[in-house]
Amino acid sequence: MASRYIESLPFVDRLETIPLQGGEIPFELNKLIQFAHDVVLRDHPDEDIRMGHWVPLYGDKPEVTMPLLYHMFQDLVKRPGYQDRVRPRLLECGSGYGMVGRVAALAGFEVFNVEIQKDIHDEAKKYDHLLKLRGMIDESAPHTIFGNYYTPEWFEYAAAHFLQHYNLLGDVVDPRNLAMVSYNLGVSKFTQEAIISALKVLREGTGALAEHSLVTSDGGLDVDVVHIYPSDPMFPHGFLQQMGSILRSGSMLVTYEKNSQIIKAIEEERFFQCGFTPTTWYMSGKELGYDFLGFQR
Ligand SMILES: C[S@@+](CC[C@H](N)C(=O)[O-])C[C@H]1O[C@@H](n2cnc3c(N)ncnc32)[C@H](O)[C@@H]1O
């Protein structure tokens, strides 16, 4: 059971809720955890501070977080209501180095990892290659896609609302907005120009979902689960509207961070919360909140 495994770890001080029941930790997952330690963490020791809100896989303890993620995805893969296919499909929005998606693939999903920052995408490809060399990757590995998880139409909608919402088009721009938005877009210069050019890069990638046949001829999104980090600055005025419009009934939207405004915004798009229990845990006195929230159409 996941909880027994976690409790046996000496550095876990206190566990508040480890609700997900699972089986043993499979051999492949242990190897992936080792890979996270030996390669990914070594390459990127401070990744959780580079851009807001990464799943705590990198700067923290992958041997704790990856089994929790695995059991969450195992629980999710078995839910009823998905399209009839051998493996349900999971779209990992903003997949970074691809580790979250790799865990989901081990749990049984066909995973589409989508990442827009070229250097990060290239790292994910490098890890695919290394995993392949080590015999740790097979046909069930995630698809690693360079591009945007917004469709062209919804990106225009999202970008317009986003610019307006943060007052980024006027002559006088609040520097706090510039800082926050730059940070969340992964832009190192806190200027209007830098934000506008970041949006251009994002716009160029908007064909990715269609190119990989994830959008059907009627404009629907052909996946069963969408997993998204909640700090996308266009999340409440773009992302949710896109998903509310193109995700079909029975599909799931999964995110983290238990923020009542986020929950309200998701429910306004006609998703209903369907009871993932939070997985908040503590290590060395530090709270690592990773509250999964599952919503169904
Ligand atoms: C906060 S990280 C999350 C990484 C990982 N999914 C996790 O949960 O730990 C967000 C990632 O999304 C990427 N990203 C942001 N906006 C995107 C977009 N519109 N399309 C694709 N990737 C995007 C960023 O480059 C960054 O690597």
**Amino acid 256: pLDDT:** 78
- How much of the chain exceeds pLDDT 90, in percent? 43
Amino acid found at 203: R
Nearest CA to ligand 1 atom 16: 94
Question: What is the position in ligand 1's atom list of the atom closest to the CA of 147?
Answer: 21
CA of 227 to the centre of ligand 1 (A): 11
Residues 148-182: tens digit of each pLDDT: 999 999 999 999 999 999 888 888 889 988 988 88
Residue 279, classed as helix, strand or coil, is strand
Q: Report the CATH number at residue 79.
A: 3.40.50.150
Domain count, the chain: 1
Atom 15 (ligand 1): residue with closest C-alpha? 94
Q: Which residues line ligand 1 (CB under 6 A)?
A: 51-55, 94-96, 100, 114-117, 120, 148-150, 186, 202, 229, 232
Q: Using one digit for the tens of pLDDT, what is the confidence trace for 98-135?
A: 999 999 999 999 999 999 989 999 999 999 999 999 98
Q: What's 118's DSSP letter?
A: H
pLDDT at site 271 = 85
The model carries a pTM of: 0.88
Å from CA of 197 to ligand 1 middle: 17
Ligand 1 centroid to Cα of residue 4, in Å, is 32
Q: Which atom of ligand 1 is nearest to the CA of 114?
A: 21
Burial of 102 (0-12, 13-18, 19+ CB in 10 A): buried
Distance 115 CA to ligand 1 centre (A): 6
Neighbours of 240 (CB within 10 A): 24
DSSP tag of 169? S
Distance, CA of 67 to CA of 296 (rounded, Å): 24
Q: Of 61-70, 162-171, 210-219, 278-287, which one has max mean pLDDT?
A: 210-219
Ligand 1: centre distance to CA 209 (Å) = 15
pLDDT tens-digit readout, 225-279: 999 988 888 998 899 999 999 998 888 888 877 678 888 888 888 888 775 554 5
Closest protein CA for atom 25 of ligand 1: 117
Relative to the CA of 95, which ligand 1 atom is closest? 6
Domain with 158, as residue range(s), is: 2-296
Instruction: Please compute, for residue 206, the number of CA atoms within 13 A of its CA located in the half-sphere on the CB side.
Output: 18
